[in-house]
Amino acid sequence: MASFKILGRQQLRGKITIGGAKNAALKILPAAILGSSPSTISNVPDIIDIEKLIEILRSIGAKIEFENHTIVLDAREIRTSHPDEKLMKKLRGSVVLVGALLAKFGNAKFSEPGGCLIGSRPIDDHLDVFRQLGVKITQKEGTYYLSGKPQPGKVVLKKMSVTATENAIIASVLSKGTTKIHVCAAEPEIVDLANFLNKMGAKISGAGTHDITVEGVSELSGVEWEVLPDRIEAGTYIIAGVAANSELEIGPFISDHLNIVLKRLEDAGAKFKIFEKEGKEYIKTLKHGLLKACDIDTRTYPGFPTDLQAFYAVLMTQAEGETHIFETIFEGRFSSIEELNLLRAKTEILNPHEFVVYGPTALKGSRISSKDIRGGASLVIAALIAEGETTIDNIEYIDRGYDKIDEKFNSVGAKIERIS
């Protein structure tokens, strides 16, 4: 297992480049198997989750080349709808491949996928979508057997689930007729997926709202596509710049995708400026005075992202007062709080959905452990502002979602050593 050794309280200054959105690329690649010709997808993050997805796609026969953040995917030799079960269990997001396989073959076989331990994330929502689309589902010894081409009609999601929304879209694009999907999630990554499919020849409208319409088409063709910037990665480095009270230029990013995050940071006393360069947006964090406590509650987009909750908690250790953080998306997504307390933070978990951060607190280096992608990365920021040396174990979790986070921080003055 690999670790980070981090020497804290270094002055950070410089530029950090934001890559493509992990949560967009992980859905665009499965959708690309519906193309009758190869697709070239650029700005793909070079992270473990993408590597796992590539292995899964190759297990069903896809030909994939991945170089310099660009993937060329050729699906013309895919002959099976049964991806490798061991690989599927390692990646929660792989469930979106099921919708693509149903659209392509009219059948699919898979076991329940794995992922980070951040609360209950059952696949019942996905199975319910497929049933509403007329797919027959049977289960035997932990394996699901799905049969039947998705039929057009009306789909009502149980809740605003991002991946269930994406599965409903992908499964419907080749159906003969109109499918109306209601109670949809509205995240920017869903819009990016819909725009990608529309460029391939699909007819999807309403993405980014809670009601999406899919007019089925008979064929999709491969295209060239650039994945949109990762709003969570951008939020990570923005909060890092504020927490370290440093001047960091971060981008490209899309400020509208982080409206509520930037508003809460401003409310807490953070200072930054947004500017345009070569047609793209960038942000620069600026020096600020004492931060003040500012409560948040995580919500589906455009609410405060659950993926940035742990980072905000780290920031609030440096703010004056009590910060109440209410997690509405996942119960028990507080594993990083226990580790943060080892750095002498002062927090109190009130219930599985709510905790309090008391500040300001001078964090002290210690040995801690990463337990999920975002929580692990938030501990990197905590270590950067803590006095002394911190060792973070199990950084494989961080590498699942961040492309060379240690190198990016070191490029702006941090002192992070990767120990294999």
pLDDT tens-digit readout, 339-385: 999 999 999 999 999 999 999 999 999 999 999 999 999 999 999 99
Which strands make up the sheet holding 107-111, listed edge to edge?
107-111, 143-147, 136-140
Contact present, 101 and 34 (Cβ < 8 Å): no
Closest CA to 173 of 232, 222, 118, 220: 220
Active-site residue set: 116
Residues 195 and 244 grouped into a single domain: no
What average pLDDT does the segment 202-224 reach?
98
Considering the domain architecture, whether residues 140 and 68 belong to the same structural domain is answered as yes
Residues contacting residue 348 through CB under 8 Å, at least 6 positions apart: 355, 356, 358
CA 359, 361, 367 angle in degrees (round to 5)?
130
* The pLDDT of residue 353: 93
Q: Is the pLDDT of residue 212 over 90?
A: yes
Instruction: Give me the number of domains the chain comprises.
Output: 2
- Taking residue 75's Cβ as centre, other Cβ atoms within 10 Å add up to 22
Say yes or no: 136 and 236 in one domain. no
**Ramachandran assignment for 179, one of left (phi > 0), alpha (psi -120 to 50 degrees), beta (any other):** beta
Select from 193, 223, 253 the last residue of a domain.
223
Over pLDDT 90: what percentage of the chain? 91
pLDDT of the residue at 114: 55
Report yes or no: 87 and 55 within 8 Å, Cβ to Cβ: yes
pLDDT digits (tens, 9 = 90+) for 52-76: 999 999 999 999 999 999 999 999 9
Least-confidence region, from 72-76, 92-96, 244-248, 266-270: 92-96
Q: How confident is the model at residue 101 (pLDDT cuts 50, 70, 90)?
A: very high
Q: pTM above 0.75?
A: yes
Q: Answer yes or no: do 305 and 365 share one domain.
A: yes
Residue 142 is predicted with a pLDDT of 80
User: Alpha-carbon distance 397 to 376, whole Å?
Assistant: 7
SS3 248: strand
Q: Which tokens in the block code for residue 350?
A: 């009130």
* Region 192-220 average pLDDT: 98
Domain match, 199 and 301 both? no
Range of the domain at 8: 3-19+229-419
| Percent of all residues in the chain with a pLDDT value above 70, rounded to a whole number | 97
Q: Do 276 and 374 sit in the same domain of this protein? A: yes
Q: What is the CATH number of the domain that holds 390?
A: 3.65.10.10
| Band of pLDDT at residue 116, cut at 50, 70 and 90 | very low
Let me know whether 258 and 184 are in one domain: no
Q: Are residues 55 and 104 in the same domain?
A: yes
Residues 6+ apart with CB under 8 A from 370: 339, 376, 377, 379, 392, 393, 394, 395, 396, 397, 398
Question: Which amino acid type is present at position 96?
Answer: V
pLDDT above 80 (res 388) = yes
178 with 294, same domain: the answer is no
CB–CB of 412/15 below 8 Å? yes
Question: Which of 200, 223, 246 is the endpoint of a domain?
Answer: 223
Sign of the alpha-carbon torsion through 350, 377, 304, 164: negative
Q: pLDDT tens digits for 300-353?
A: 999 999 999 999 999 999 999 999 999 999 876 888 999 999 999 999 999 999
Neighbours of 355 (CB within 10 A): 19
User: Which of 163, 98, 181 lies closest to 137 in space, CA to CA?
Assistant: 98
Whether residue 204 is predicted with pLDDT greater than 50 in this model: the reply is yes
- 13 pLDDT more than 90: yes
Q: What is the pLDDT of the chain when averaged over all its residues?
A: 95
Same domain membership, residue 29 and residue 10: no
Closest C-alpha to 92, from 47, 26, 44: 26
Say whether both 205 and 248 belong to one domain. Answer: no
Which of 173, 208, 223 delimits the end of a domain? 223
Contacts of 54 (CB under 8 A, 6+ apart): 29, 64, 66, 71
Give 144-189 pLDDT, tens digit per residue: 999 999 999 999 999 999 999 999 999 999 999 999 999 999 999 9
Span 120-147, pLDDT tens digits? 446 899 999 999 999 999 999 888 999 9
Residues 26 and 15 in one domain: no
The distance in angstroms from the start CA to the end CA of the chain is 7
- Measured distance CA(161)–CA(210) in Å, rounded: 11
